[in-house]
Amino acid sequence: MTGIVVQDVSRAFGAVQAVRGATLRAEPGRVTGLVGPNGAGKTTLLLMLASLLAPDSGSISIGGVDPATDALAARRMLGWMPDALGAWPSLTARETIVTTARLYDIPKPEAAVRAEQLLALVGLADLADSPAKVLSRGQKQKLGLARALVNDPRVLLLDEPASGLDPEARVHLRVLLRRFAAEGRTVLISSHILSELEEVVDDAVFLVAGSVVDAAPAQASVRGWRIRLAGASPERMAADTWQVASSLGLSPDALVSDRGAVLVGFASEDAAAQSLRRLVEAGLPVAEFAPAQSALEHTFLNLHPQPAAPATAPPPSPSAAPSTGTEAGA
């Protein structure tokens, strides 16, 4: 099985410590998201995995191969997609893929067939004979993905692959990534678009200031939920806020409104489900009840000190709690 194992890896550029003792795993058959703010060290880490940088300390294994000591063997397993295409601007999309395939010693006739297949796969068949320099940012991203797939890699390293893609292309990318995982490939993807990662990743690794951080405390923190009553309007906002607060035993002044909804903090999904039941039993016409942030966004934002969260609903009294295990259906 081909996977990625990073153990206590560090890398500095002069006085700047880009990666600090990072330890992580990315398993075959799964999509792993690498999440972190700008300057967190994500690209530096990916460059080391791709054998383009050597770590100062620690070890990296790509399917049992150390890219620092046997870069050729590692690269034969890898597909690397950098944030910027870096293609030969005068070559067409087709020529870019064929040339890349030849660098992997793929025979020319087979390289030509591979180019046709990959350009069709990423949606660039109609632009096969267009020079790379005339492609848009999103089209270059598609070409970068096609290039990363030339050698049919078992491990994919993707740095911001959704950057510049239109909504339809992003959906197509998500489908492709899930297909790659289903084929047993190891996919490690770095992205700032957390909503995109949320819909595709199986696992997430959080990198802050060059270090992999334990996300468990942030995941367990209070999470804001949006509650919107039917017929919500600016004129009714104060009344809606009062009704929600009254039903949940909160002060209306402690709640925050957002685009016609009231934000309330809950410590768990169970607490949210029981509070929804209380709102419905109070006769409130609940039209929307959903997390205000995705799980990834919630975790990421709570890795750092944040402004005060929305008021937290107290746990329901025993009489208000359901007598059977039906919270999920509330």
255 band by pLDDT with thresholds 50, 70 and 90 = confident
Per residue, the 3-state secondary structure of 151-167, as one string, reads CCCCEEEEECCCCCCCH
Q: How far out from the chain centre does Cα 102 lie?
A: 32
* pLDDT for the residue 181: 95
Per CATH, the number for 4-213 is 3.40.50.300
The answer on pLDDT for 320 being more than 70 is no
Mean pLDDT, range 153-162, rounded to an integer? 93
Structure tokens at 121: 């796969």
Pairing mode of beta strands 211-213, 203-208: antiparallel
216 band by pLDDT with thresholds 50, 70 and 90 = low
Mean pLDDT, range 25-44, rounded to an integer? 92
Q: Of the candidates 70, 283, 46, 37, which has an alpha carbon nearest to the alpha carbon of residue 188?
A: 46
Single pTM value for the model: 0.79
* Local structure of 235: helix, strand or coil: helix
* pLDDT for the residue 328: 36
Percent of residues, the chain, with pLDDT higher than 70: 89
Q: Of the candidates 52, 132, 37, 146, which has an alpha carbon nearest to the alpha carbon of residue 87?
A: 132
Percent of residues, the chain, with pLDDT higher than 90: 60
327 band by pLDDT with thresholds 50, 70 and 90 = very low
Q: If you average pLDDT over each of 104-108, 213-217, 326-330, which comes out highest?
A: 104-108
Residue 300, H or E segment: helix 295-301
Q: Are 46 and 32 in contact (CB under 8 A)?
A: no
- Report the alpha-carbon distance of residue 277 to residue 50 in Å, rounded: 51
Mean pLDDT, range 65-79, rounded to an integer? 94
| Calculated CA dihedral for residues 111, 123, 166, 148, nearest 10 degrees | -20
The answer on pLDDT for 319 being more than 70 is no
- Report the alpha-carbon distance of residue 35 to residue 278 in Å, rounded: 36
Could you tell me the residue ranges of all domains in the chain? 4-213, 217-329
- Report the alpha-carbon distance of residue 30 to residue 156 in Å, rounded: 11
DSSP state of 325: S
Mean pLDDT, range 86-96, rounded to an integer? 88
- Report the alpha-carbon distance of residue 196 to residue 166 in Å, rounded: 12
Task: Identify any residues that bridge with 204 across adjacent strands, giving them in sequence order.
Answer: 33
- Report the alpha-carbon distance of residue 30 to residue 247 in Å, rounded: 42
330 band by pLDDT with thresholds 50, 70 and 90 = very low
- Count of CB atoms within 10 A of residue 26's CB? 25
The answer on pLDDT for 26 being more than 50 is yes
- Count of CB atoms within 10 A of residue 20's CB? 17
pLDDT tens-digit readout, 158-209: 998 988 888 899 999 999 999 999 999 999 999 877 877 888 899 999 888 8
Of 208 and 303, more confident: 208
Q: Are 316 and 278 in contact (CB under 8 A)?
A: yes
Q: Are 293 and 221 in contact (CB under 8 A)?
A: no
* pLDDT for the residue 88: 81
83 band by pLDDT with thresholds 50, 70 and 90 = confident
